[in-house]
């Protein structure tokens, strides 16, 4: 599945950058890399990459700003952020800015490769989904990654739309977070990973579609069972 995929590695630590590049090349990917934020941003915006591995702590322009600038240009670009282990604020901020997922350092190369494969598989395969999702007071256009609510226009990332589309398709029941990881992120159910990406994406979506995100009425939590989207019709 690696043939033809191009990955950009933006990482200032030379040993990590070269190690990642070597591993990815070994697995059949075409790899480009950057050691500074400015170089990484220029390559990210000028090249066509199937995935960007983006470190947060970079000289010059940091990973947050790079992610933000990429999302302003392209809401479909797959991005995995590299964070420090235990730095919850880094994870939350990175995912809020639109990263698809994160991997905490130090990481297992095997697990990183599996997660890269999963993100690429989902982004290339796409999802069968309804063109529109109707919620009370919110209308979502899944094809254009946009919506209209009581407070005006809403902009979504590709991953947020995939979460909403899967929940809408299964709106008759709560969907466990493990199922979302498998069906939306593409992670095998037996892949033992520790990630908060589902919960943070749900929180991001609620801020966009709920009048009161802390008291959700459209995207609710069913205790012990998962998340459920209450659609109209």
CATH of the domain at 187: 1.10.10.10
- pLDDT tens for 57-109 read 999 999 999 999 999 998 889 999 998 766 778 888 888 888 988 888 888 88
Strand order in the sheet with 51-55: 30-34, 6-10, 51-55, 79-84, 101-105
Q: Which residue segment(s) compose the domain that 11 sits in?
A: 6-125
189 within a domain of the structure (yes/no): yes
Q: Which of these three, 95, 125, 155, is where a domain ends?
A: 125
Would you say residue 1 has pLDDT above 80?
Answer: no
The CATH number of residue 60's host domain is 3.40.50.2300
As given in the structure block, the two tokens for residue 107 are 């990481």
Q: Is residue 1 part of a domain?
A: no
Task: Summarize pLDDT for 107-134 with one digit per residue, the tens.
Answer: 888 888 988 988 888 776 655 566 889 9
Residue 72 lies in a domain: yes
Q: What percent of the chain has pLDDT over 90?
A: 61
Domain boundary among 81, 96, 125: 125
Structural domain count of the chain: 2
Q: Are residues 110 and 140 in the same domain?
A: no
Q: Does residue 142 sit within a domain?
A: yes
Whether 160 and 120 map to the same domain: the answer is: no
Measure CA 80 to chain center.
7
**Does residue 57 form part of some domain?**
yes
Cβ neighbours of 189 (radius 10 Å): 9
Strands 152-155 and 146-149: antiparallel
């Amino acid at each position: 599945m690696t043939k033809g995929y191009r990955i950009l590695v933006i990482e200032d630590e030379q040993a990590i950058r070269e190690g990642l590049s070597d591993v990815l090349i070994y697995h059949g990917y075409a790899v480009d890399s950057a050691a500074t934020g400015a170089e990484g941003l220029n390559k990210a915006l000028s090249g066509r990459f199937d995935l960007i591995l983006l470190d947060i702590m970079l000289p010059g322009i940091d990973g947050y700003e790079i992610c933000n600038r990429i999302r302003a240009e392209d809401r479909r670009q797959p991005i995995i952020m590299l964070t420090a282990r235990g730095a919850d604020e880094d994870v939350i901020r990175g995912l809020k800015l639109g990263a698809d997922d994160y991997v905490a350092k130090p990481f297992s190369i095997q697990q990183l490769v599996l997660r890269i494969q999963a993100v690429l598989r989902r982004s290339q395969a796409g999802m069968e989904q309804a063109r529109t999702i109707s919620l009370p007071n919110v209308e979502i256009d899944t094809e254009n990654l946009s919506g209209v609510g009581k407070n005006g226009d809403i902009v979504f990332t590709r991953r947020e739309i995939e979460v909403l589309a899967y929940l809408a398709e299964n709106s008759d029941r709560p969907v466990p977070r493990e199922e979302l990881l498998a069906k939306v992120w593409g992670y095998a159910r037996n892949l033992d990973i520790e990630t908060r990406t589902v919960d943070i994406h749900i929180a991001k979506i609620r801020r966009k579609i709920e009048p009161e995100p802390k008291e959700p009425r459209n995207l609710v939590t069913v205790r012990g069972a998962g998340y459920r989207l209450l659609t109209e019709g």
